[in-house]
Structure 1
Amino acid sequence: MDDFAISVRNVSKSFRRYRHPTDRLKELLFPGHQKYQEFWALQNVSLEVPKGQTLGIVGRNGSGKSTLLQIIVGTLMPTDGEVNVNGRISALLELGSGFNPEFTGRQNVFFNGQLLGLTKQQIEERFEDIVAFADIGDFIDQPAKTYSSGMFVRLAFAVATSVDPDILVVDEALAVGDEAFQRKCFSRIEALQSRGGTTLFVSHSASKVVELCDRALLLDRGEMLLFHEPKFTIDRYHKLIYAPADLCESFREEIRHTPNLDPHAELDRDDGGTPTPQTPEESPSDGDFFDPHLVPKNTISYIPRGAKIANPQIVTPDGRTVNHLTGRQEYVYTYKVTFYKTATKVRFGMLVKTVSGLELGGASFTASSQSIDRVEANTTVTVRFRFQCLLNPGAYFLNAGVSGVVEGQFTYLARGIDIAMFRVRPDNDSFASGIVDLLIDPHVSLDAEVETVEMRSNPAREPKVESL
């Protein structure tokens, strides 16, 4: 049992459903006259989550996901079965749960923190970090009833993760925040994962489950149908929800008889086939442009060891700075590096990621022929990576890094994580799907007339990396 953070054994949960509100009263006044129908939200669910694992839970609305989480957290009691939790648990469930709408944000922080097991002194020590993470400004001293849904989630997530939980439970709440805040949340979840914490993550976003989770559980009609690798589970889940009504039951039976994985089996993550990221709002402006408000809010910088990165930006070939890009056009990602120590075998790199941290691609001066033999102290250089924007509409983040030998050691001299961000604008004429635009050139052949209709042609071009 010590190996498991959560153990659920044969858990079932039933609720009483009444046709009319007065039926409850009639049942009290006339004992023996049952007026309710029994509804089983969960039926005989068993699972074990090892410490340090991230479990995604997927299923259609009404499948029992939230009920299962509430039983694990302890806000609901199971009708049958037992649950054992090993470690401090922190949960972000229904929007605004645990918040008193009449209290200010500040008062709710102290109230919720104490519910999660922190002392008043511990909350005071973490208060500034909580407020900074939530980023709701002066609203921290306003009643919670004046908050938007996004502000509720910001503050609730900041409090829930401030207690350094062994187990974090998140129920679809992150879908409320904007891209920059979601990235902050995913960064904190990744930090929890890196230190061996356990996460239960409920989401309708298949890509987030595939990217974040080690295993995924499929619930349907209160029944646990499948416990498997994320991509495997998501594929079956999508096939189930899009199955014709007359084939749905037979496919449920097929999934039900698929062997589940051992929770301790070696992980074999398959991150392929990720769905298209969320499409941003369209701008009235034509073409690419620069929005000064589009900046990452959770940049992580490595401790510098001889260099400093500055002014990361994307520019057009004619030199305009932009952060709203047009697909299939050419741009240059550039930044400056100032060396305050002499370095040798210097290399530069960049990386593009999705909102949830999936690494899409990048470039690096990895070969010895591409590195710079020596850069003297007090030198500033400009690094330029020329690329084609082969991404579909969505928000993306950029890394920048420089490595080399300083004082006899090869290491990162400076590195910025999520140091810049950009959006790719929708293109109504594009037929590309997914995240990456593969420049696919489709044709339709009308065999009867032996004609070829060419929908669109755009020969692929090799992305270029422009060195110093």
Structure 2
Amino acid sequence: MSSEIAISVENLSKCYQIYDQPRDRLKQFVIPAIDRHLGRQPRQYFGEFWALKNVSFEVRKGETVGIIGRNGSGKSTLLQMICGTLNPTGGSIVTNGRIAALLELGSGFNPEFTGRENVYLNGSVLGLSTDEIDARFDAIAAFADIGPFIEQPVKTYSSGMVVRLAFAVAINADPQILVVDEALSVGDELFQRKCFSRIEAIRAAGSTILFVSHSGGTVVELCDRAVLLDSGECLTIGTPKKMVARYQRLIYAPEERRSDIRDEIRAEGDQPHSSISETEIAEPLDGYSGLELSEELPDSYDPALSPSSTIAYESHGALIEEPALFTIDNERVNNLTRGKTYRYRYKVRFSRAASNVRFGMMIKTTSGVELGGAASASSARTSLPYILPGQQYLVEFEFSCRLNPGVYFLNAGVVGDLNGSETFLHRLIDVAMFRVMSEVDNVATGIVDFSCESRIETLPSNSSDQVM
């Protein structure tokens, strides 16, 4: 394995033996051995469940990779095998560097030991010496922020306190590889922000991060790449924005279409079994048609400014058509002026009856970070109660453009009741794009313009501060 590779997974598989009845386990232990002794074909009393099947990929040092997929797709199994807490049925895993794992947080704590004692116990499991734990203990206690409970037995802790302490130990182990399984939602909002901030610092320091999350926004924001798993198989690997969109397309697909969509995703795949290329990491406008920012005038329409990354969900009786941006005077545009008001419109045609229907939109950055959007109703209670087949609607969202110069993408969606639960009746990802034009003397920074006004005053000098 190259010294630049932190994790190498090759043809990794994990099979579980599933028994219908407890006595079948005993039969499997005894009868096949007798069959082999008598020269007969051994009988099998279990079914096979393959949690992972021939999964291969590499993670470079310093790279952050997200693992996404539906429940039961094999994400946690994959992380457990990488961390060495679960043995594979086949294939190989090679890691290069100290691993800190945030899997089942606190599961390795001894409930009879105090928090302090468990810090030393857990730290030693992570490969830290006693002197190293001594040097880190104050930082661990401060990060966990459980006060005097650090000296009390863990069995007296709340579940939240156990998780905070376990997270604090792992995050302060200075890992070269950090493995996280849905642990970024622990604690209250302040502690979550502290966790994210520390992970960002670990990432900035050059550590490798591999984590599972069901939050598409988190994957897009933190990751360089994402791995899409489904039914134990690696469907594709690529840029987070594309992988999250394909994952969402898969989970909202009707059951009878899932197999076909899996095949389509495999065919579309970026780089199924290799690490990402330097050009893909550096790509500034993912999904953009390739044009550089031009000399187009604000409030104008450029037909070449068209997304190439559009992904459509399967329709459940609704179809979104003709999405476009307009000025207040109904002129179609995709070159916008910061501070002006615009209208985003699309039509929805219903081919079958629908109930509790709501419409929505979302604006995203080129990397897929969701900046904000709106829905036509706050809940199903205030939505359209019933829509007949054949009806059409014109949906319009009016918004003030408070974005700084750059290129942005638009989503469109319609949700309603399907088999007793609210789901997307149709959704289009990156269905339209627009450019906010550059301005002379623009002092706003970042992505969103908050219309901040600066004021600078000269303060009177303090005579005691003056040099004699």
Q: TM-score, normalised by structure 2?
A: 0.60
Q: What letter corresponds to residue 38 of structure 1 in structure 2?
A: E
1:114 lines up with 2:124 in the alignment: yes
The code of the aligned residue for 1:197 comes to: S
CA distance in 2, matches of 1:224, 1:250: 16
Q: Can you list the C-alpha shifts for 1:45-89, whole angstroms capped at 9, x where unaligned?
A: 110001100000001111111111111111112111111101111
* Native 8 Å contact 1:56 1:202 kept in 2: yes
Q: Secondary structure at the match of 1:173?
A: coil
The answer to whether structure 1 residue 20 and structure 2 residue 21 are counterparts is yes
1:260 CA drift (Å): 2.8
Aligned counterparts, 1:20-169, within 5 A: 20-31=21-32, 32-169=42-179
Matched residue type, 1:168? L
SS at match of 1:56: strand
What is the match of residue 283 of structure 1? none
Counterpart of 1:213 (choices 223, 232, 237) is 223
How big is the shift at 1:201? 1.1
Instruction: Say whether the 8 Å CA contact 1:11–1:45 is kept in structure 2.
Output: yes
Superposition deviation, residue 458 in structure 1: 7.8
**Aligned amino acid, residue 146 of structure 2:** I
Instruction: Give the Cα–Cα distance (whole angstroms) in 2 for the partners of residues 272 and 136 of structure 1.
Output: 43
Q: Which aligned pairs between 1:251-290 and structure 2 lie closer than 5 A?
A: 251-261=261-271, 262-266=274-278, 267-268=281-282
CA shift, 1:129, in A, is 0.4
State whether structure 2 residue 187 is matched by structure 1 residue 200: no
The separation in 2 between residues aligned to 1:452 and 1:10, in whole angstroms, is: 50
- How far residue 270 of structure 1 moved from its aligned partner, in angstroms, is 7.3
Assess, with a 3 A threshold, how the Cα gap between structure 1 residues 439 and 221 changes in structure 2: closer, same or farther.
closer
Q: CA deviation at 1:149?
A: 3.0
Using the TM superposition, give the Cα deviation of residue 464 of structure 1 relative to its aligned residue in structure 2, in angstroms: 3.4
Gap change, CA 1:244 and 1:125, over 3 Å in 2: same
Distance 1:432 1:74, change over 3 A: same
Change (3 A) 1:69 1:455: closer
User: What are the superposed Cα offsets for residues 292-339 of structure 1, whole Å, 9 maximum, x if unpaired?
Assistant: xxxxxxxxxxxxxxxxxxxxxxxxxxxxxxxxxxxxxxxxxxxxxxxx
Give the Cα–Cα distance (whole angstroms) in 2 for the partners of residues 95 and 207 of structure 1. 23
Alpha-carbon shift at residue 438 of structure 1 (Å): 6.1
Q: Is the 8 A contact 2:235 2:269 kept in 1?
A: no
**What SS does the corresponding residue of 2:117 show, helix, strand or coil?**
helix
SS in 2 for 1:257: helix
Can you give the 5+ residue segments of structure 1 that lack an aligned partner in the other structure?
A: 274-386, 388-428
Does structure 1 retain, via aligned residues, the 8 Å contact 2:238–2:276?
A: no
Deviation for aligned residue 1:159: 0.8
Deviation at 1:235, TM superposition (A): 0.3
* Distance verdict in 2 for CA 1:245–1:464, change over 3 Å: same
- Check the 8 A contact 1:230/1:269 in 2, yes or no: no
1:466 aligns with 2:441: no
How many angstroms does 1:22 deviate by? 2.7
Deviation by residue 1:212-258 (Cα, 9 ceiling, x = unmatched): 00000000000000100000100000000001112111000011122
Deviation at 1:436, TM superposition (A): 4.7
Alignment equivalent of 1:242, drawn from 248, 252, 256:
252
In structure 2, the residue matched to 1:227 is 237
| 8 Å CA contact 1:14, 1:38 repeated in 2 | yes
What secondary structure is seen at the aligned counterpart in 2 of 1:139?
Answer: helix
The answer as to whether partners of 1:231 and 1:270 remain within 8 angstroms in 2 is no
Aligned letter for 1:17? I
What is the number of equivalent residue pairs in this alignment? 308
What is the identity, as a one-letter code, of the residue corresponding to 2:275?
P
Which amino acid is the alignment partner of residue 111 of structure 1? Answer: L
> Which amino acid counterpart does residue 467 of structure 1 have in structure 2?
S
Find the residue that maps to 1:82 and give its secondary structure.
strand
**Runs of at least 5 residues in structure 2 that lack an aligned partner in the other structure:** 33-41, 288-338, 340-357, 364-369, 378-383, 403-448, 456-468
> Which letter maps to 2:23?
T
Residues in 1 aligned to 2:31 and 2:162: alpha-carbon distance in whole angstroms: 44
- Distance in 2, matches of 1:71 and 1:193, equals 22
The structure-2 alpha-carbon separation of the partners of 1:256 and 1:121, relative to structure 1 and needing over 3 Å to count, comes to same
Q: CA deviation at 1:146?
A: 3.0
CA–CA distance in structure 2, aligned partners of residues 239 and 52 of structure 1: 30
Q: Answer whether contact 1:73 1:89 (CA < 8 A) is retained.
A: yes
Shift of 1:105: 1.4
How far did residue 269 of structure 1 move? Answer: 6.5
The alignment's C-alpha RMSD in Å is 3.2
2:3 counterpart letter in structure 1: D
Could you tell me how far 1:33 is from its partner in structure 2? Answer: 4.2
Find the counterpart in structure 1 of residue 313 from structure 2: none
Q: Which amino acid is 2:176 matched to?
A: D
Shift of 1:265: 0.9
Residue 259 of structure 2 aligns with an amino acid whose one-letter code is: E
Task: Say yes or no: does 1:8 pair with 2:9.
Answer: yes
CA contact (8 A) 2:178 2:210 kept: yes
In the alignment, residue 174 of structure 2 is paired with which amino acid? Answer: D
Q: Is the 8 A contact 1:441 1:457 kept in 2?
A: no
Amino acid at match of 1:124: D
